[in-house]
Amino acid sequence: MTDPLYRLGDTGPAVAEIRARLAVLGLLPGGVDELRSDAFATAEFDDQVDAAVRGFQQQRGASVDGIVGPQTWRLLDDARWRLGDRVLWFAPSHLLSGDDVAALQQRLLDLGFDAGRADGIFGRETELALREFQRGVGLPADGTCGPATFQALDRLSRTVTGGAPAALREAERIRRRGPTLAGKVVVVDPGHGGADPGNMAFGLVEAQLTEDLAARIEGRLTATGVTAYLTRGRLGPDESAPDDIERAATANRLDADLMLSIHVDACGSVLANGVATYFYGNRLPGGQSPVGQRFADLLQREVAARTDLLDCGVHEKTWDLLRRTRMPAVRLEIGYVTHPGDAARLGEAAFRDAVAEAVVAAVQRLYLPLEDDTPTGSIRLPDLVPK
């Protein structure tokens, strides 16, 4: 059973709730009274709501399509919470998420406690940081953020200076891992699979292309000493493929250093073409992965330099796979199957080899100190294979 989608022209109670949440966020006139009005059952998803949804999606780093699907629902739900609205704790089977969690994480980071990334998900790192904070201020270190902990947080001011604490820690983890690729763990995620073929055009199937690209990348990474894992194998049409949350969980379970998700884009216009790369980020304070952004930038530049695809740039998103990974993660959209030129290139084995080499070069450059970095397009695989 698929999740419901709400878009321009829809009506009903769910649309009334969407309108009310957008109003509370100041993106629509009105407020929560809309949920209690006589028009509750006939509320309309009109042009004003469509514009508000698109503005919200843009702000939160979601796909800007004006459609309220599962991810936009989750983001709307997250946005309604403010720090102090509810008690927060670590629930492994159902992680709490929301703007209040992000505010707690940012507060802990500002005070010098390593809560990981301020992604709004109350995970193990957040719990450990909260326990450490509670011990430091003489509270029971139970990892639960209740009234006493809220008061203690309010009393204290920021103690860390000189840059964003999460960004500094993320960069330091990369530095400590050293410049060589041997011993690194990279998860490669071929998008779609199973009963979900992804985008299709000109006789090409996205799930098959991503499988092939992932296999080429895995082989080259392994040759350099990297331990590479795939999130799925070659699934038949009747088998199920993991969703993005499960794929992120796989990378977390493997304690990977990096995660790369591979997709192929499509568009209703045959003019759309090119390569783009995405990393975790939004327009809210602390809502970025600086190392993820650098990895995405290196990957985009390497692919653009080694192929003739149009460079469509690097962009921040809060897609579940990027948000829920504890390590830097990027998503590569390698061409459009709906564009005749891109499709022709994607169908060539030599082109897919070039993309695989670009990925390995980007991974290597991420770990090189800035003073030892090399020009884009200059790294060759034989130079990276241990002798």
Closest Cα partner for 312 from 277, 346, 344? Answer: 277
Identify the bridge partners of residue 11 per DSSP, sorted by sequence position: 44
Contacts of 2 (CB under 8 A, 6+ apart): none
Task: Give residue 22's pLDDT.
Answer: 94
Distance CA 2, CA 13 (A): 19
Task: Give residue 386's pLDDT.
Answer: 81
Q: Which residues of 173-211 are buried (b: 16+ CB within 10 A; e: fewer)?
A: ebeeeeeebeebbbbbbbbbbeeeebbebeebbbbbbbb
Q: Where in the chain is the domain with CATH 3.40.630.40?
A: 171-384
Task: Give residue 158's pLDDT.
Answer: 58
**pLDDT by residue (tens digit) across 160-201?**
554 566 677 778 888 888 999 999 999 999 999 988 999 999
CATH topology of domain 171-384: Aminopeptidase (3.40.630)
- Is residue 119 within 8 Å of 166, Cβ to Cβ? no
CA 359 and chain centroid, separation: 18
Distance CA 189, CA 259 (A): 7
- pLDDT tens by residue, the chain, 387 residues: 467 899 999 999 999 999 999 999 999 986 555 555 555 667 899 999 999 999 999 999 999 999 999 999 999 999 999 999 999 999 998 999 999 999 999 899 888 898 988 899 999 999 999 999 999 999 999 999 999 999 999 888 655 554 566 677 778 888 888 999 999 999 999 999 988 999 999 999 999 999 999 999 999 999 999 999 999 986 655 567 899 999 999 999 999 999 999 999 999 999 999 999 999 987 766 667 889 999 999 999 999 999 999 999 999 999 999 999 999 999 999 999 999 999 999 999 999 999 999 999 999 999 998 888 889 989 988 888 887
Task: Give residue 162's pLDDT.
Answer: 47
Distance CA 166, CA 286 (A): 8
Task: Give residue 220's pLDDT.
Answer: 96
Q: Where in the chain is the domain with CATH 1.10.101.10?
A: 99-161
Distance CA 178, CA 226 (A): 13
Contacts of 61 (CB under 8 A, 6+ apart): 280, 281, 282, 283, 287, 316, 317, 318, 319
Task: Give residue 191's pLDDT.
Answer: 95
Task: Give residue 33's pLDDT.
Answer: 56
* Placement of tokens 């964003």 in the chain: 164
CA torsion sign, 55 to 59 to 60 to 61? positive
Its pTM stands at: 0.86
Domain 13-79 - what CATH class?
A: mainly alpha
CATH topology of domain 99-161: Muramoyl-pentapeptide Carboxypeptidase; domain 1 (1.10.101)
Task: Give residue 372's pLDDT.
Answer: 83
CA 314 and chain centroid, separation: 13
**pLDDT by residue (tens digit) across 270-300?**
999 999 999 998 776 666 788 999 999 999 9
